[in-house]
């Protein structure tokens, strides 16, 4: 059962509200934030503010309304494996990425686990858009459970308040692949972009905040003809799942994923101003549980021998469904895809879950990139690191020769 948390009034209340013995983990962050003005413009925080806040997003007064996803009653093991031999200086790489955590899991064993920025295995770090891939997985579960009849259904069938908007002709599948053709700006550096504004608008009376904003957007291209990255659309996917299942996303995530996958710690999911989880963002979880999420997906999201999603879902979800204009890459159902069969969940400032089925590989990264939300140099360095890990495993012979 997901539990709603009220926003605390002061940082002093936050300090008293630590989770048992874990409260001290945030002592330095609390002290910093107590003396540093912080506003709700997450994209425009300073690097020190981000360092402090990313480990406690669900406890910040301006953002702290969330639903809890309880830990599993039967946590799954993450046994240590043989240390992975890499040519890269891992400490230097992590410093360049400003990593709070990096885990490499191969064939179910932890081959590398490192932490930085004063963070550790007991803390929770925010996911940002890694949550998009969580929400996509819940769509698959809702299809399997019969709450969503078809991905070719129109979005407005499940979100009636979108009737009469540019989303009238958009299918659930097009929403998942970000090919709706509806106008949107995801410019993280522009305070007037849609991604900066949508959660600050006053909603129409009786209407979910996001839907109130999205239903006013104009059409820019015919549905299915253009890919455009849109956090707003993943938030709509989350709203669609909530309205189809009649359950909060946190509750459905607990039922379908968090419990069955054996997550060791509770997670939280931040809420919009009208009280719904933000489908495109902001799950707070332990780094080891992000690794367990990757393993759950890698193993087909199986529970007692049966997948929580329909047959063929992972093939469709994690291979290129939309051309993003980059050679060797694409976009699936809220997963970034590579033509070699690997795929990744990605969040701003360096969050990620990279999955390579061929090598039974999961790489988790939590970070606070110095160069901003979508630091191109840091992203390129991380992609290069993924390739180095793959090569190291190939050198070990983990992929049988053809």
Mean pLDDT of 54-71: 88
Q: Which two tokens stand for residue 394?
A: 């190939």
- pLDDT computed for residue 6 by the predictor: 35
102 strand-pairing partners? 114, 365
Please answer whether residues 390 and 361 qualify as being in contact, where contact means their C-beta atoms are separated by less than 8 angstroms: yes
Q: Which two tokens stand for residue 300?
A: 């087909």
Q: Which two tokens stand for residue 113?
A: 């686990």
3-class DSSP string for the chain: CCCEECCCCCHHHHHHCCCHHHHHHHHHHHHHHHCCCCCCCHHHCCHHHHHHHCCCHHHCCCCCCEEEECCCCCCCCCCECCCCCCCCCHHHHHHHHCEEEEEEEECCEEEEEEECCCCCCCCCEECCCHHHHHHHHHHHHHHHCCCCCCCCCEHHHCCHHHCCCHHHHCEHHHHHCCCCCECCCCCCCCCCCHHHHHHHCCCCCCCCHHHHHHCCCCECCCCCCCCCCCHHHHHHHHHHHHHHHCCCHHHHHHHHHHCCCCCCCCEEEEECCCCCECCCCCEEECHHHHHHHHHHHHCCCEECCEECCCCCHHHHHCCCCECCCCCCEEECCCCEEECCCCEEEEECCCEEEEEEHHHCEEEEEEECCCCCCCCHHHHHHHHHHHHHHHHHHHHHCCCCCC
- pLDDT computed for residue 292 by the predictor: 98
Compare 203 and 288 and report the one with higher pLDDT: 288
Compare 207 and 70 and report the one with higher pLDDT: 70
- pLDDT computed for residue 32 by the predictor: 66
Q: Over the stretch 304-333, which tens digit does the pLDDT of each residue have?
A: 999 999 999 999 999 999 999 999 999 999
- pLDDT computed for residue 114 by the predictor: 97
Integer-rounded Cα Rg, in Å, for the chain is 20
- pLDDT computed for residue 21 by the predictor: 32
Q: Over the stretch 137-165, which tens digit does the pLDDT of each residue have?
A: 999 999 999 999 999 999 999 999 999 99
- pLDDT computed for residue 197 by the predictor: 80
Positive or negative CA dihedral for 329, 331, 332, 337? positive
Q: Over the stretch 13-60, which tens digit does the pLDDT of each residue have?
A: 222 223 333 334 466 666 666 666 566 678 888 899 999 999 999 988
- pLDDT computed for residue 325 by the predictor: 95
Residue 23 CB-density burial (10 A; 0-12 exposed, 13-18 middle, 19+ buried)? middle
Please answer whether residues 238 and 276 qualify as being in contact, where contact means their C-beta atoms are separated by less than 8 angstroms: yes
Residue 92 CB-density burial (10 A; 0-12 exposed, 13-18 middle, 19+ buried)? exposed
Q: Over the stretch 348-381, which tens digit does the pLDDT of each residue have?
A: 999 999 999 999 999 999 999 999 899 999 999 9
- pLDDT computed for residue 7 by the predictor: 35
- pLDDT computed for residue 267 by the predictor: 98
Please answer whether residues 40 and 34 qualify as being in contact, where contact means their C-beta atoms are separated by less than 8 angstroms: no
- pLDDT computed for residue 401 by the predictor: 62
Average pLDDT score over the chain: 89
- pLDDT computed for residue 192 by the predictor: 83
Question: Phi and psi for 354 in degrees, rounded to 5?
Answer: -100, 130
Mean pLDDT of 391-402: 86
Q: Over the stretch 114-133, which tens digit does the pLDDT of each residue have?
A: 999 999 999 999 999 999 99
pLDDT above 50 for 265? yes
- pLDDT computed for residue 3 by the predictor: 45
- pLDDT computed for residue 18 by the predictor: 32
- pLDDT computed for residue 16 by the predictor: 27
- pLDDT computed for residue 181 by the predictor: 96
Q: Over the stretch 201-260, which tens digit does the pLDDT of each residue have?
A: 777 888 888 899 999 999 999 999 999 999 899 999 999 999 999 999 999 999 999 999
What structural domains does the chain harbor? 4-141+239-396 (3.40.710.10), 142-238 (1.20.58.710)
- pLDDT computed for residue 346 by the predictor: 97
């Amino acid at each position: 059962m997901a539990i709603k948390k009220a926003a605390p009034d002061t940082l002093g209340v936050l300090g008293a509200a630590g989770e048992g013995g874990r409260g001290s983990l945030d002592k330095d962050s609390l002290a910093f934030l107590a003396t540093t003005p912080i506003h709700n413009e997450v994209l425009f925080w300073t690097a020190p503010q981000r360092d402090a806040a990313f480990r406690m997003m669900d406890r910040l007064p301006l953002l702290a309304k969330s639903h809890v996803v309880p830990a599993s009653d039967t946590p799954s093991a993450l046994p240590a494996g043989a240390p992975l031999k890499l040519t890269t200086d891992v400490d230097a790489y992590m410093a360049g990425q400003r990593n709070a955590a990096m885990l490499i899991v191969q064939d179910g064993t932890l081959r590398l686990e490192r932490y930085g920025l004063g963070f550790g295995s007991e803390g929770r770090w925010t996911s940002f858009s890694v949550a998009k891939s969580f929400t996509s997985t819940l769509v698959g579960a809702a299809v399997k459970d019969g709450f969503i009849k078809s991905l070719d259904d129109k979005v407005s069938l499940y979100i009636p308040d979108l009737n009469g908007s540019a989303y009238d002709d958009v299918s659930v599948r097009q929403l998942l692949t970000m090919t709706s053709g509806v106008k949107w700006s995801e410019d993280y550096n522009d305070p007037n972009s849609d991604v900066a504004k949508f959660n600050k608008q006053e909603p129409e009376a009786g209407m979910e905040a996001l839907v109130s904003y999205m239903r006013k957007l104009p059409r820019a291209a015919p549905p299915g003809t253009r890919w455009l990255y849109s956090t707003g659309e993943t938030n709509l996917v989350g709203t669609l799942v909530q309205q189809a299942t009649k359950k909060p996303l946190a509750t459905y995530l607990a039922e379908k994923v968090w419990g069955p996958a054996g997550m060791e710690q509770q997670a939280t999911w931040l809420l919009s101003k009208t009280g719904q989880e933000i489908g495109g963002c902001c799950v707070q979880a332990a780094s080891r549980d992000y690794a367990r999420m990757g393993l759950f997906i890698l193993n087909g999201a199986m529970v007692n021998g049966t997948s929580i999603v329909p047959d063929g879902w992972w093939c469709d979800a994690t291979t290129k469904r939309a051309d993003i204009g980059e050679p060797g890459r694409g976009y699936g159902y809220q997963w970034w895809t590579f033509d070699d069969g690997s795929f990744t969940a990605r969040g701003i400032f360096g969050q990620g879950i990279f999955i390579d089925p061929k090598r039974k590989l999961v790489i988790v990264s939590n970070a606070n990139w110095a160069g901003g939300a979508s630091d191109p140099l840091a992203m390129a360095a991380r992609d290069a690191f993924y390739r180095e890990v793959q090569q190291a495993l190939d050198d070990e012979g983990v992929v049988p020769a053809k």
